[in-house]
Structures are given as C-alpha cells and as structure tokens.
Structure 1
Amino acid sequence: MKNSPVKLVGWFLILLVGGCVDPYRPPEITAPDSYLVVNGFFNSAPGTTTTIQLSRSQNLADPKTPTAETKARVTIESAHNASYALAEGSAGVYSMSGVTPLSGETYRLHIKTAKGLDYYSDYVPVVTTPPIDSLSWRAEDDGVQINVNTHDPQNNTHYYRWEFDETWEYTAGYNSSYVYNDKTKGVDLRNENIYNCWGSSTSKNIITTSTTRLSRDVVSQFPLNTIAGSSIKFQSKYSILVRQYALSQAGYDYYDQLAKITQNIGSIFDPQPSQITGNIRSATNPTDLVLGFFRVGSVVTKRIYIRKSQLPSWRTLTGYESCVTDTLTLRELQESPTGVVTTYYPPPPGSLQYITAPFACIDCRLRGGVNKKPDFWEN
C-alpha cells in the first residue's frame, strides 16, 4: 500500500457482567514487538524510479508516527547475480533510477539493517500490467459510483489491484478581498487568494479482484469508489487518478487475506485475527515477522474529471452552512477580541463599516486544502 503506516491490530473482548463493561486487552495488543514493514516494488517501466519504504510497526494504542528504518543497505538482486543498490533519501525511503528489470528474469529484495539484521524476499518474476481501458462513473440516488474497466488480450494477468488519489476544487464560505492590518490598525487589500482551494485524499482500502473464474481476462465495471452526492468534493470539480497493478497469484492471495482481516472487522461473523505472511523473511531470526510483499512489475494510471454541472442538483454540504457575517466599524475591528478581522467585499464609499466573517468561513485552507492549483489540474 502506498505510504501506509502499519499498526498491529488486535481484538477487544467486552465482558458484560451486572451491567458493567470492562475492556480486555490481550497481551498481543500491548506487546513491545516492533516488526519491519516493507512498502514498495521494483518498477519495470523504463525511465521510472523504484522506491522502497522501510518502517517499523507499532502497537494499536501508540499515538506516535511509525518509526522509519534508517541507514539500512537495500539492494535488489537477480537470480543471475546482478545486484542494484538503492540510496536512502528522506528517512526510511530508498530509491534508484535508470534500472529496468529484464523480462523473464526473477528478482529478490535484500535488506540489511543498521543493526546487522538480514531480510530477503522470495525471487519473483516480472509481471507486466495491462492498460486501463477506461474509468467510468454513474450518478445514483445519493451519490456517484466510480468504476474501472480493463482486460488482458493475452489472457495472462488474472489478478489485479488498484489504488487511487482524489483531488477536488472547492471554495470558502465567503470571498475575502480585505484584511485587517494589526500594525497600521487599518484595512488593506488582501494579496493572497484564500477563497479557492484544492483538497486531496488517497485510497484507504485494499482493492483487488481476480478473473480466474471467467472465460476471458476482462474486468468490467469494477467498483472502485463511492462518493456521497452532498460531498464537498462535488462543489465545483472532482478528479480521480487510478493506479493499476497486475499481481502474481501469491501477491493476490497476500493482499486478499490482508484486506479480509483489516477491513472486515466489527462483527462476530468476520474473519478471525491471524498472522499474514508475505514473501519477505528474516534470515537472522525465523520468528521475526516481516510485513509486506515485494513484487516486480509495472503500474499504469488513468485520470478522469467530473464537473458539478454533469451531476444532478444535489445540495452540497460544504461545512460553511453555519457561517454568518457581521458589520463592524473600524474601531470595533481594532478592539475585537474574537479575531474577526476581514471583509469579504468593499464597504460602501465613505462608509466606516466593514462586513466581516470569522476566519473559518473565509480561509479555505482551514478545511484541509491548499490554495495552490495542482499542476495537472485542467482548466
């Protein structure tokens, strides 16, 4: 999974005795074990960069950011003794460029940590990903369903996985053209656009499918994402970038099992917690668990846009519904203890009053977005 911190997941047993609810935390939840987490793959597309991210797992209740595994020696080795070293850039992120795996060859990942612990993956073949034929969407009663379509004319792929990035354009509740200047105790023109913003998010779930039961290697209208019609993502324009990966059967089995025990939890009918075994193992200590699956292959991408004008007349819930304005004199602005310091349009000529609104209603960045348009954004 792309840049996904891993936490150990355990069960909480609730004992109902005489109306009391007592949480039970098994030792596995509070155990100090910290396992190596490997995220990344050997990219077979020419001219691309291969990136492997190393970190350490942490307990479910640990609020800290997962620890990066730094100063390791990371190499990719072929079955015919070729070896390619990855260099560490930011903490725990190892990369190399200009190396393309050979079709028909097999490769493994070798990690030697700063503490001298060795980890090896299985040797895996190069798996080429077929193109995405199309991304489609349809408006339903209460939202939008986004689907993917693909096929392998050679009938060789059979196992697929997807990730996606979402981006959407939205605005603040009011357009603020003026700002109160605390130094001059006056009102100036605002020199920064804080009305238009772009929000973003990435897929959180593991999304896989298999065509092994079909007569042809075709994926048709497979659901990737569902978005409520009232979402702020549809206030103006929405975009989704989908990444498609072809998997080996072993890779598919790993991600399928991981999805079952991490995403289908919450009822007594869900899968029992169990240990997930990838294709990376410790050569130093056989009981040292490693989380991750090393693969060699390509990734293909496709992007679509959906405009508000293409959708039904759904009411967008932006979070600004409770915003209200006030009218203040310059003196009241100077004395305001609430931080209400801006106008959203010019006061009438000769007027000493300003129409104001709270920062939360005029600065779109406070909703988690950025006010710089992405380079890929279409006009």
Structure 2
Amino acid sequence: MKSDLNKHKISFCGFLAVVFFYGCIEPFETTFEDFESAIVIEATITNRMQQQRVLLTRTFEFEEDGPVPESNAVVRVQGGGTTYTFVEGAQGVYISQQAFAAQSNTEYQLLVQTQDGRSYSSSQMTLPQSTQIDDLRAERITTDLGEDGIGIFVDSFDPTGNSINYRYEYEETYRVIAPYWTPEDLEKVPFDEATEICQVRVIPDNKSLETGFGTDFSNAIIQTSTSDLGEDRVDNFMVRFISSENYIISHRYSILVRQFVQSNEAFNFYETLNEFSGNESFFSETQPGFLEGNVTSDTNENEKVLGYFDVSSVTERRLFFNYEDFYPGEDLPPYVEPCTPNAPVLFRGNPPVCVLSAMVENDLVRYVDANGGQGPNEGPFLVVPKVCGDCSDIAQSTPPEFWVED
C-alpha cells in the first residue's frame, strides 16, 4: 500500500525540475545545470473537525526518484486568536496536534520554519461557504474515444451563487479476489544426502489471502467552475472514469468523493498547476516559468517557494456498486496481472540449476494443482504468479469500517 507521503492528492513535484528554472534549450539535454532545490508546501485546512495536515517536500531533478521530504520543520497555523501546532508523523507529513475545523469569518495563516532556520508564511485565507453534493452516481458510458467503462458523476447546486469554484478528490476501495487461490502451497524440500536437490512439496497454505480490500487515492487535479453559467450549478460532472478493463471493478467497488469549495485564487492556482503538468508543456517552445502561490519566504525575498495554503469548505458522499450491476453475465475484467498457470521445471542444466524451488523460496509463485499431463519440458506442479493466488500484496485482509455488502 502507499505511504502517507505518497497519498497526498495533488502532486506539485512531478514537473518542478522544468518549471522552476527554464529556458529554450536547443537541442534538449536532460542535465539541468542551474537546478536549485526549492521547498514545496502543500496545505489545505477545511471545515471538517479533524487533525489537519501539511506536506513539506523539496523539488527534485528528473534523474532522482522523487520528492525529498522536508523533515524537522516547525509548522503552525494561526487563526481566530489560536495557534495550532503540527508535529511530523511520516517524513515530510505534519499533523495538527489537536483536531480543529476552520471557522467562517476567520483569517488563517500558515507559518513554517525549516531546520536550517528559514521561515515561510502564507497569505491570510478565509473559509468559503459550504455547498452540499446533491447527487453522486455511477453510469456505464462510452467515452469519446470509444472506451467502455463506468463514469462517476456529481451534481451540486448553490442557490446563493457564491460557491462557483469546485475541486474534487476521491478515495476508492474495492474487493479483490485472487482468481487462483487454493488452500495448498509449495515449499522447498531441505536437501540432505537422502534426497535429491531442487525438490518441492505440497503443504497446507496458512498465509495466502484469497479475498481482500484495496484502496487508491485520486492523484490528479479535478476541478470545475460555474462562473460562465447562468446559475451556480454543477450538473453531471464526471470526477472519475474507470475502464471496463480495470480489475478494481471486478467485484464490489466503493468511492468516496469530496467536494471542496475554493476561492478564486486557489482555483486559478490549481488550474495553472494542472496546465503546467500537462505532457506537452515540458518541452513546448513557450516554457511555463515559475508558478507563484501564496506562500513566500520571510528570510529571503528572492527565494522561490512553490506551494499554496488553502482554506476550503468540504462535503463528501459515498456510493457502492457491483460489477454485475452494469455488466450482468459478462466476463470479469482482466486481473491485475496475467494469471496463466504454467509448470516450471525442477531444474535445468548440468550441474543442475534449481528453477521451481528458487521461485518458491523467493515467494514468487503460488500452487494451483498437480501437473497431470506433464510434458518433457515441464515440472510436476502448476503454479501462477504470487498475486494470482495471494492478493495480500495489493489488498488488506480486513474490510474498512464503512464497508457494507449489497
């Protein structure tokens, strides 16, 4: 499963090596000699009573694996005469010591001091009004590109006309069933003088997971505005499309959609961020430049800071559906990996090199059955990749508290 740092919904860092320092480079080279690490601040506090969260990382170059957490910082939010202190949990993830909810008509400010003594502060932000999700539904659709799947649609309406800017996040949870689970497994036979090398044997399987529950989080910027419409109504807006070939809808599926009402400034920031992170913007003739948010350095006015401190009202709604609700009598989508049983040989070569026992020892396969029609280049057992007979690597054994059956 994903770590807390990788679970945050809006990733600022994937494009930063390009947008932070830019220029027309011809021919294009993958070395950025002028790269300078910059702090990245991601923070949205809401009107939900909860422990709020702030994410601190640093920009990274293309050849690096990903963003570097900014640890050991002092993080605070001030508002309404109260200071809320945040403590670091996972690296770069700061959680408020106490649960709190943003209040109307109150200004909030984010304050950050890093371990090297640099300090940063945000603009004063206030809470927009809250607008409910009126309807959340799933429909089987065909996209403009001819792809069949399930669309998740949301409706919302603010009769006062004050909400206007909406951003969406989702958490999806789904039942996973390993298609080749059996109550038996294989183990390597210990070698001694009385036994042959490379042998395996069938044993009871007490560890593999047949049915589990996987969870994924949205990782894209999903937002819409009603500013050009005659009324403040979100109508039939698709927040998620799931291809009919995606295994996550094979059995039972649930999605929790959160609707954030944003300020104009926040909406424009995320809209620009989304444009910057488009596939073509990296190498287009007109480079995007630096994306300025509402967080600045207090110690160096020339320091570039990427980030946005947002105060947003949020509402949420959940739905469930089963695959057969939309695809009655149809074959299930392909599993997460191909699951064709095969029969690896016990060994090959002279001196012999163990094949099947090495797979078993490294936990790469799961037992399916004896290979009754064993051919000359086959072993005595049929096996599949581990995930096909044991879904523990992609799912949790215990259903979440909100899970309900149909």
TM-score (norm 1): 0.82
1 CA distance for matches of 2:345 and 2:60? 51
Q: Which residue of 1 aligns with 2:376?
A: none
Other structure's SS at 1:286 match = coil
What is the deviation of 1:202? 2.0
AA aligned to 2:83 is: S
Q: Which residue of 2 aligns with 1:19?
A: none
2 CA distance for matches of 1:32 and 1:291? 14
Q: Which residue of 1 aligns with 2:260?
A: 245
AA aligned to 1:86 is: F
Q: Is 1:33 aligned to residue 36 of structure 2?
A: yes
- Paired residues of 1:38 and 1:291 also in contact (CA < 8 A): yes
Q: How many residues end up aligned between the 2 structures?
A: 359
2 CA distance for matches of 1:51 and 1:159? 22
Instruction: Decide whether aligned partners of structure 1 residues 308 and 136 sit closer, same or farther in structure 2, where only a CA change above 3 A counts.
Output: same
Q: Which residue of 2 aligns with 1:90?
A: 90
- Paired residues of 2:295 and 2:309 also in contact (CA < 8 A): yes
1 CA distance for matches of 2:298 and 2:25? 39
Give structure 1 stretches of 5+ with no counterpart.
Answer: 16-21
Q: Is 1:24 aligned to residue 13 of structure 2?
A: no
What is the deviation of 1:284? 1.2
AA aligned to 1:103 is: S
What is the deviation of 1:98? 3.7
TM-score (norm 2): 0.77
What is the deviation of 1:109? 0.8
- Paired residues of 2:162 and 2:232 also in contact (CA < 8 A): yes
What is the deviation of 1:143? 1.3
AA aligned to 1:143 is: G
Q: Which residue of 2 aligns with 1:42?
A: 45
- Paired residues of 2:247 and 2:334 also in contact (CA < 8 A): yes
Q: Which residue of 1 aligns with 2:350?
A: none
1 CA distance for matches of 2:61 and 2:25? 20
AA aligned to 1:373 is: P
Q: How does 1:108-147 map to 2 (within 5 A)?
A: 108-141=109-142, 142-147=148-153
1 CA distance for matches of 2:369 and 2:159? 59
> Percent of aligned pairs with the same residue?
25
Instruction: Decide whether aligned partners of structure 1 residues 245 and 281 sit closer, same or farther in structure 2, where only a CA change above 3 A counts.
Output: same
List per-residue Cα deviations over 1:283-319 (Å, max 9, x = no partner).
Answer: 1112212222112233222221221111233551225
1 CA distance for matches of 2:9 and 2:366? 40
Q: Which residue of 1 aligns with 2:54?
A: 52
What is the deviation of 1:354? 7.4
List per-residue Cα deviations over 1:168-220 (Å, max 9, x = no partner).
Answer: 22322312211234468753321234222333322222111111122221101
2 CA distance for matches of 1:209 and 1:271? 26
Q: How does 1:220-231 map to 2 (within 5 A)?
A: 220-231=235-246
Q: Is 1:317 aligned to residue 334 of structure 2?
A: yes
Instruction: Decide whether aligned partners of structure 1 residues 327 and 38 sit closer, same or farther in structure 2, where only a CA change above 3 A counts.
Output: closer
Q: Which residue of 2 aligns with 1:234?
A: 249
